[in-house]
């Protein structure tokens, strides 16, 4: 990972995890000014995390001069600074590993708001518009570590699916709390919102939201990659044409990569 890419990742991490301005300044100052960052020029973060650190978080001195990424420095303050950099990078690596979970799952507040909307309007009809939706920067603000979504989009998608699982309508579902007329299913963005930078138009549209039972939804978030493919193939086949009408063009291979 080159330094400019790493800095972009750091900025995204700070924004998406609601770090305060003091933290942001401290971290980016480390990046921009400290010599240790310059020693990370082509560093792969996954390889970085396998390097040896002692219990105090300082890298063993013997390692400092044995690779292409760091330089030996007899100044103990510089070695301590390297320990701080390691701490920040470790946070970034953990963020990268959990990015989809953090950004693509609905918060509890959003779930409660969605349930309220459903109880008020579950008897309405909805049909796809099949037109592109421009990105709205306000939609991409971060609230409680998750993208702020349009709850009405999720509601409409569930209404269109008649509150059934779109992978298998016969999947076991239960009645929604507060209403004995509709089943409980969950809204899921087929193309994750966290991948919005790969597309010109908004992904927060009904055509990109599927209704899933709890089992299928959790499988896509937490299940094994090989178990996701069958569900994704069916959902992709049913949505690829309408997504293309919305100027969201994606191959099945690209979609699979988002779920690895």
139, 185: one domain: yes
Residues 93 and 196 in one domain: no
What does pTM read for this prediction? 0.62
Domain count for the chain: 2
**Do 15 and 85 share a domain, yes or no?**
yes
User: Containing domain of residue 150, as a range?
Assistant: 105-258
Q: Are residues 223 and 190 in the same domain?
A: yes
12 and 93 in a single domain? The answer is yes
225 vs 93, 214, 218, 222, CA distance in Å? 20, 17, 12, 9
pLDDT, one tens digit for every residue, the chain (260 residues): 445 566 676 677 677 666 667 767 766 766 665 444 444 444 455 444 444 443 344 444 434 444 434 434 444 544 444 555 556 566 665 655 565 555 666 767 777 788 888 888 877 888 898 899 998 754 444 433 345 678 999 999 999 999 999 999 987 789 998 888 899 999 999 999 888 889 999 999 999 999 999 999 999 998 999 999 999 999 999 999 999 999 999 999 999 999 98
73/241 Cα distance (integer angstroms): 58
Q: Same structural domain for residues 84 and 138? A: no
Identify the pLDDT of residue 17. Answer: 64
Together in a domain, 230 and 121: yes
Strand partners of residue 175: 183
Q: Are residues 235 and 144 in the same domain?
A: yes
């Amino acid at each position: 990972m080159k330094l400019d890419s790493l800095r972009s990742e750091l900025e995204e991490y700070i924004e998406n995890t609601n770090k305060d301005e003091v933290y942001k300044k401290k971290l980016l100052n480390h990046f921009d000014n400290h010599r240790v960052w310059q020693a990370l020029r082509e560093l792969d973060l996954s390889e970085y995390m396998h390097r040896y650190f002692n219990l105090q978080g300082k890298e063993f001195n013997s390692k400092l001069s044995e690779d292409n990424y760091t330089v030996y420095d007899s100044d103990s303050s510089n070695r301590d600074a390297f320990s701080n950099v390691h701490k920040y990078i470790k946070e970034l690596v953990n963020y990268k590993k959990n990015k989809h979970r953090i950004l693509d799952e609905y918060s509890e507040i959003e779930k409660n708001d969605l349930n309220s909307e459903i109880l008020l309007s579950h008897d309405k009809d909805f049909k796809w518009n099949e037109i592109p939706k421009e990105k709205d920067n306000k939609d991409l603000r971060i609230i409680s570590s998750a993208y702020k979504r349009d709850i009405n989009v999720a509601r409409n998608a569930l209404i269109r699916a008649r509150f059934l699982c779109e992978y298998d309508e016969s999947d076991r579902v239960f009645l929604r709390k507060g209403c004995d007329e509709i089943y409980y299913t969950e809204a899921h963005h087929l193309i994750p919102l966290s991948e919005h930078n790969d597309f010109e138009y908004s992904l927060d549209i009904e055509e990109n939201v599927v209704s899933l039972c709890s089992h299928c939804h959790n499988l896509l978030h937490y299940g094994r990659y090989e178990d996701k493919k069958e569900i994704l193939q069916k959902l992709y086949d049913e949505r690829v044409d309408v997504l293309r009408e919305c100027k969201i063009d994606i191959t099945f291979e690209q979609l699979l990569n988002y779920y690895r």
